[in-house]
Amino acid sequence: MARISLLSALRRPAAAWRLVAAWRLVALLALGGVGAGSGCQANRPAELRATAERGLVQPTNFSAMVYGLANNQPDQATFELGRTLFYDARLSSDGTVSCGSCHRQSQAFTDGQALAVGVGGRRSPRNAPSLQNLRWRRGFMADGGVLGLELQALAPLTSPAEMNTPLADALAKLNTDAEYRQRFAAVYGPGKIDTPQFLRALAQFTAALTSVNSRYDHYVRHEPGGTLTNSELGGRMLFQQKCSSCHATDLFTDEGYHNNGLDRTFANDLGRAHITNRPADAGRFKVPSLRNVARTAPYMHDGRFATLAQVLAHYDHGVQPSPTLDARLRQPNGRLGIPLSAQEQADLLAFLNTLTDNEFLNNPRFKQLQQPGLLTKSAQIIAAQTAAARLARN
Ligand code: HEC
Ligand code: HEC
């Protein structure tokens, strides 16, 4: 019976999900363009290629990078182009929403909303995840529906609930902007700005968002500043015993999709099954990294938990049964969840707080630059108001 109801749920996705399916089609269509290799790197000026990017270090406590450098060799000019694009609200249909609206640096590139807010106040079907260490990610989105960092940007750009701009419109906007034309030409040579150039420039910025200097990192790498308190150390031990099989490695994810017991049924969001169409994947979501987790509330794919204390309470006594619930959340005695005493929850919380990387959260390299000619609409209005106020005072 359970199987039949899961199958019928798969055939009737909620309305919001049809929109998401449309993004994915767009992404697939664009794949040919990105693979085709126009905007070739080989003819870039040597001095551009020579400027190495600082975010590119391979941290000793991380696994090998996934996102290849061969097709998109980092350099300062392309990174800066990516940064400008990331914060440019003109790429949305009404000029109000940029990537940076939903991905804010001080919140590890999340937005503090349960469900992200796009043009016209429309809600995305999911919570905006943190953007960090994306070079090491294989699958993107809570269901792994996008497989490459470059292609990923097409989803929010074109989604009606996010930036609502067809790719062709975005390229047309870039191509009519003299400053963008000049900056793209400096990197990729003369000619029209095309899809691969646009997506690769943006990916240089998102790929550079490396978080690797939390107090925890200093501790595991035996560096100065790497001391943990007894409570934090106790929390770390509990974490290793009870959490790290899913939140694995120092990236804090096994890159897998698991059902951590949020719901009994999945009509609102099938999770991984939305992509695979396999009933066995219903209710499974990508294991998120827990880096900077103290800054990324609210939590889970739909932002249902406002605090980390609520998340720990969920694992202790909130886990819901369903056919796809992960076996690690069933105790041998049949009890569901991961039993955690009040003291254990306090220690785990202390440990999770050691994952905050202030250097990453405040790195000026990732902030929005206010360049003349590239101000967002609202920034232009504020600038005009400030100028008017100054005139009135004089
Ligand atoms: C309206 C808010 C919004 C805007 C604007 C937005 N995003 Fe997102 N972003 C999200 C949400 C929500 C998700 C998760 C979607 C999902 O899981 O299906 C996401 C996911 C991502 C991911 C995947 C991260 C991971 O670990 O899986 C990346 C990368 C990303 N966004 C980059 C961007 C870029 C680049 C832009 C600009 C082109 C952008 N976003 C614009 C809300 C937004
Ligand atoms: C069976 C695998 C599994 C285990 C074990 C597990 N988690 Fe998770 N965790 C997940 C998945 C999957 C999600 C994402 C669910 C979603 O997006 O709806 C998640 C989400 C979270 C989040 C929310 C992160 C965010 O950005 O939204 C926190 C915090 C968290 N887990 C902490 C823990 C802690 C602490 C433990 C140990 C007590 C633990 N987890 C054990 C799989 C697991």
| Residue 278 per-residue DSSP state | -
Q: How far is the CA of 288 from the centre of ligand 2 (A)?
A: 7
Residue 379: predicted pLDDT: 43
Sign of the alpha-carbon dihedral angle for 15, 20, 24, 26: positive
**Which residue's CA is the nearest one to ligand 2's atom 33?**
243
Tokens representing residue 45 in the block: 């000026």
Residue 286 has φ and ψ, to the nearest 5°, of -65, 140
Main-chain phi, psi angles of 186, to 5 degrees: -65, -30
pLDDT at 133: 96
Tokens describing residue 345: 């929850």
Ligand 2 contacts CB of residue 288 (under 6 A):
yes
8 Å CB contact between 105 and 211: no
Q: Which residues lie closer than 8 Å to 143 by C-beta, 6 or more apart? A: 257, 270, 271, 272, 273, 274, 275, 285, 286
Beta strands in 96-173 (DSSP E): none
Residues 158, 100, 109: CA angle, nearest 5 degrees: 110
What is the set of domains in the chain, with CATH numbers? Answer: 2-210+368-387 (1.10.760.10), 215-353 (1.10.760.10)
Q: With helix as H, strand as E and coil as C, how does 243-255 read?
A: CCCCCCCCCCCCC
Confidence (pLDDT) at 370: 74
Residues 6+ apart with CB under 8 A from 79: 53, 204, 205, 208
Strands (E) across the chain are located at 257-258, 285-286
Strand (E) or helix (H) holding 301? none
Q: Which of 88, 119, 131 for mutating ligand 1's site (highest number of atoms within 8 Å of CB)? A: 131
Alpha helix ranges (H) inside 12-94? 15-36, 46-50, 76-86
What pTM was computed for the model? Answer: 0.86
Question: Which among 210, 242, 223, 207 has a CA at the least distance from the CA of 352?
Answer: 242
Q: Please give all residues whose beta carbon lies within 6 A of any atom in ligand 1, as ranges.
A: 97, 99, 101-103, 116-118, 124, 126, 128-129, 131, 134, 137, 140-142, 152-153, 156-157, 162-163, 202, 206
Minimum-distance ligand 2 atom for the alpha carbon of 257: 12
Regions of the chain with pLDDT less than 50: 1-55, 372-387, 390-391, 393-394
DSSP letter, residue 330: B
Q: What is the pLDDT of residue 256?
A: 97
Query: What is the rounded distance in angstroms from the CA atom of residue 7 to the CA atom of residue 262?
Result: 20
Strand partners, 110: 104
C-alpha distances out from residue 345 to 84, 216, 326, 340, Å: 42, 18, 21, 6
> Do the Cβ atoms of 102 and 162 come closer than 8 Å?
yes
Q: Determine if ligand 2 sits within 6 Å of the CB of residue 350.
A: no
